[in-house]
Structure formats: C-alpha cells, structure tokens
Structure 1
C-alpha cells in the first residue's frame, strides 16, 4: 500500500441524494441542524462547568457535558456513515509541520509541558 492509499479516507456516498435540492428540509438538513445544536450545547456547557462553584453542581454538569460530547460524536459518526459529512486526508508532511509548530508554541508555556500534570 502506498502512502497516498494509506491517507485516503473512505467517504461513503449518500444513498438517493437528489442532484438539486429543493427548499424543503430533508434528513440531512435535520441531522445537520441537530449536530450544530449539540456543538452549541457543548460550548455553553463548557462555560457553565468552568464557572460552577458548587462541587455537586460541577460534577453533575460534567456528566451532562460528557454525555453531550458523546451524543455529538454519535451524530457525527451517523452523518459520516450516511455520506453527509466528508473528510479529506492531509499530507503527512503538512501534519508533521503543524505538529512541530504547536510543539514550539508549547515551549513558551509558563508551566512547561501542559500535557502533563501541572505542579506549582
């Protein structure tokens, strides 16, 4: 298998999708709207979790946040499976360059490596 073949993503083709879309909502429109709502909810919950001052409330909201992230992932997977969400593979060299760029940024963090535990 060549590097080009290894980088290919097998985007499924949507079954029965019309060539031209009319003004009425179809299943793809509905699930895309639901995905957008889930993304909005996770963004809002992230803020709420950060600002929750009561431990029990914080833990409850973390549970809801994790469930919402999982729901968003399930919707994404279903959309991809149906061919309604396509992905493109990136060239490995460009991925490596971007990784190096962000590793260089990480060296500027005041507490060292942010991926490990922070100690003061």
Structure 2
C-alpha cells in the first residue's frame, strides 16, 4: 500500500467534513423532533468549525489555493442573495 502524503490526508479529511455538513444540513432541515434538530445543529456547527480549521491549514500550505473575488463580484453575489431573500 502506498503511503499517503499529508496533503492527501488533509484533502480526505476536508472532503469528509463537506459530506458530513451536507448530510447534517439535510437532517436539520427535515427533522420534526426539536431535540434531534437541536443536536444536529450543534454537530453541524462543530463540523463547520472543523472544516474551517482544515481549510485554513491547507490554504496556508498552498494545498488549497483560492481566487479572491473582486468588489464587483462580491456586490453582485450580495445582490443575488438579497433578491432570493425578497422572493421568500
């Protein structure tokens, strides 16, 4: 079996956090039981925090490069969100 690099391990952990966040989001949205929903929300918050830590480490090491949005792109995205919210 080949040895995994630190980058591969971190990438796998990041992907697991993303999958967990997606599944937990569905659980929160579909929970009829308030206690289950609350527990799932708590776990989801911890999952978000863990994902952010892994992402930050990967980004610092250059393993997850991101392109910064310019102000025009940010403004356009904010306007789209406002439009969606006003339609709800």
Taking structure 2 as the reference length, what is the TM-score of the superposition? 0.80
Alignment match, 1:79: 58
d(CA) in 2 for partners of 1:107 and 1:75? 31
* Structure possessing the higher relative contact order (Cα contacts under 8 Å, 6 or more residues apart): 1
* 1:31 partnered with 2:10: yes
Runs of 4+ in 1 over 6 A off after TM superposition: none
CA distance in 2: counterparts of 1:76 and 1:61, whole angstroms: 22
From 31, 36, 60, the counterpart of 1:57: 36
- Report how far residue 97 of structure 1 moved: 4.0
Q: 1:57 to 1:36 in 2, by over 3 A?
A: same
How far residue 93 of structure 1 moved from its aligned partner, in angstroms, is: 3.1
Task: Please tell me whether Structure 1 or Structure 2 has the larger radius of gyration of its CA atoms.
Answer: 1
SS in 1 for 2:68: coil
Q: Structure 1 residue 24: deviation in Å?
A: 4.7
- Following superposition, the deviation at residue 58 of structure 1 comes to 1.1
Q: Could you say what secondary structure the match of 1:53 adopts?
A: coil
Unaligned 5+ segments in structure 1 are 1-22, 111-120
How many residues align structurally?
87
Q: 2:83: which partner in 1?
A: 105
| Alpha-carbon shift at residue 91 of structure 1 (Å) | 3.2
